[in-house]
Homo-oligomer: A and B are copies of this chain.
Amino acid sequence: MMNPHVLEEEKVFKDPIHKYIYVQDQMIWDLINTREFQRLRRIRQLGTSYLTFHGAEHSRFSHSLGVYEITRKIISQFERGGYSDWPREERMVALCAALLHDIGHGPFSHSIEEVFDTNHEDWTCRILLESTEINQILHNYDPSFPERIAAVIRKTYDKPIVISLVSSQMDADRMDYLLRDAYYTGVNYGTFDLDRILRVLRPHQERIVVKESGMHAVEDYLMSRYQMYWQVYFHPVTRSSEIILRQIFRRAKELYGGNYTFSWMIKPFQDLFEGTLDVKSYTLLDEALVQTVFSQWMNESDELLSDLCERFLNRRLYKYVTLDDAEEGLWDEISDQFLSIGLRPDYHLEIDFPYDLPYDVYRSGSPASSHGKEEKPPILLLDKENRLSEISERSDIIRSITGLHQGKYHLYYPEEPLIESAHKLKPHIRELFGLL
């Protein structure tokens, strides 16, 4: 008799990164076809990076399939190898967690999360656990599944090896996004030898570790990550577009909380401002909606808001100058000067230091970063005598980038008003902004 959980005929998706993505299980196929998963097509993987790298228009839908596929390949290699340390009964949990790990991402997550103090991991768990198509499919398969997948996402699942597949220093998530983002941006720094890495992963006790002979492949992977951070993820132009985005949300929230009346509003945004988003309205929030809202708000009477929206949609971003350090005195002086020419430092001036971002090229040892992010398990090498060692103890290269401090301060501002009023600024401020 047929196993009702296995598709009669394997389904495939054509994918530029993995050539094909293979689906063999009915549940995986059903999850992909839910409205919550299809919504990921309307959320870009790299947020505003497409304004810097025009090719980076790929969605979280593509990436989620990719994470699933890498996880499937790892597990399938574990099963072929017959390693006793891999708990075979966890296969479906791991595949679902891989596929769904980003299901709670909202449009331009970072900015929205910062301004409205929400968290995409919480939303992922709510989508898994509350009344959704995804929840129903998981529950029908096994009533314990929604809670188990959520536990993997929250990193509280009692099989750490499953967590480490989806969330560790070298997990399926990172491997897919590095390759995918490199492909779509056209920046070839992110390329590393995925096949080689998959070949050297081993389940060992409760972790996934790397055969010692794969050390150089891991070095290469970590260097790719390092390069992608500096070339793509921290690109100062992308940072500028994120700043604009955040200012829009901040301003709209401020206006909404004040006595301003929007000439145009739409329900999911109202819920967002009111703090009354539920799963149903949250999943209506997508980047199509955000762009439409901004397009309408270009007509708002609040000039600050309409200007910011216009800047975002038509890509008239803030410029930046580079500062070696960020003394407070200088900052105050610039603020004063901005005020004196009618600019608002709270919206027209922003200092940015990329190190404040979740910079995780590779850190080890520290129990938790200073920014409250919990630590990802480190990468361990397994030698022929079955001894483990942390990779940065073995590799000079990796040690050298572990905890590397880099980056400069960037001061972002709108260029046009500064040029117009340049003559009113003090000479050294003019010079700082390159206005001669």
Query: Which of A115-123, A136-144, A189-197 lines the interface with chain B?
Result: A189-197
Chain A's interface: helix, strand, loop or mixed, by majority? Answer: helix
Instruction: Let me know if B193 and A189 touch, CB within 8 A.
Output: yes
- Most chain-B CB neighbours within 10 Å: which of A33, A58, A284? A58
Instruction: Let me know if B14 and A53 touch, CB within 8 A.
Output: yes
Instruction: Let me know if B315 and A33 touch, CB within 8 A.
Output: yes
Instruction: Let me know if A227 and B219 touch, CB within 8 A.
Output: yes
Query: Which of A252-260, A348-356, A399-407 lines the interface with chain B?
Result: A399-407
Question: Interface size of A by Cβ–Cβ distance < 8 Å?
Answer: 66
A332 at the interface (CB under 8 A from B): no
Instruction: Let me know if B54 and A57 touch, CB within 8 A.
Output: no
A187 at the interface (CB under 8 A from B): yes
Instruction: Let me know if A220 and B216 touch, CB within 8 A.
Output: no
Q: Which residues of B contact A65 (CB under 8 A)?
A: 54
- Closest-by-CB residue of B relative to A184 is B16
- Closest-by-CB residue of B relative to A186 is B16
A38 at the interface (CB under 8 A from B): yes
Instruction: Let me know if A397 and B396 touch, CB within 8 A.
Output: no
Query: Which of A85-93, A157-165, A287-295, A336-344 lines the interface with chain B?
Result: A287-295
A151-198 CB contacts (< 8 Å) to partner B: 183-189, 191, 193, 195
**Minimum CB–CB distance for A407 against chain B, Å:** 12
- Closest-by-CB residue of B relative to A52 is B14
**Minimum CB–CB distance for A8 against chain B, Å:** 13
CA distance A67 to B199 in the complex (A): 22
CA distance A295 to B38 in the complex (A): 13
Instruction: Let me know if A186 and B14 touch, CB within 8 A.
Output: yes
**Minimum CB–CB distance for A79 against chain B, Å:** 12
A314 at the interface (CB under 8 A from B): yes
**Minimum CB–CB distance for A330 against chain B, Å:** 20
- Closest-by-CB residue of B relative to A133 is B314
A383-436 CB contacts (< 8 Å) to partner B: 396-397, 399-401, 404, 406
Interface set of A (CB-CB < 8 Å, partner B): 12-17, 19-20, 33-35, 38, 41-42, 50-51, 53-55, 57-59, 61-62, 65, 183-189, 191, 193, 195, 199, 216, 219-220, 223, 226-227, 230-231, 266, 284, 286-292, 295-296, 313-316, 396-397, 399-401, 404, 406
In the complex, given contacts A14-B186, A54-B62, what are 18 additional A-B residue pairs having Cβ atoms less than 8 angstroms apart? A14-B53, A14-B185, A15-B186, A16-B55, A16-B184, A20-B199, A34-B314, A55-B58, A57-B57, A57-B62, A188-B191, A223-B223, A223-B397, A266-B296, A286-B291, A286-B295, A288-B292, A400-B401
A-B contact pairs, 18 of them (CB 8 A): A13-B54, A14-B187, A15-B186, A16-B183, A16-B185, A17-B186, A33-B316, A34-B314, A41-B50, A41-B315, A54-B61, A57-B59, A189-B220, A266-B292, A266-B296, A396-B404, A396-B406, A400-B400
9 closest A-B pairs (Cβ-Cβ)?
A: A400-B400, A16-B186, A288-B291, A292-B292, A288-B288, A35-B314, A16-B55, A14-B186, A38-B314
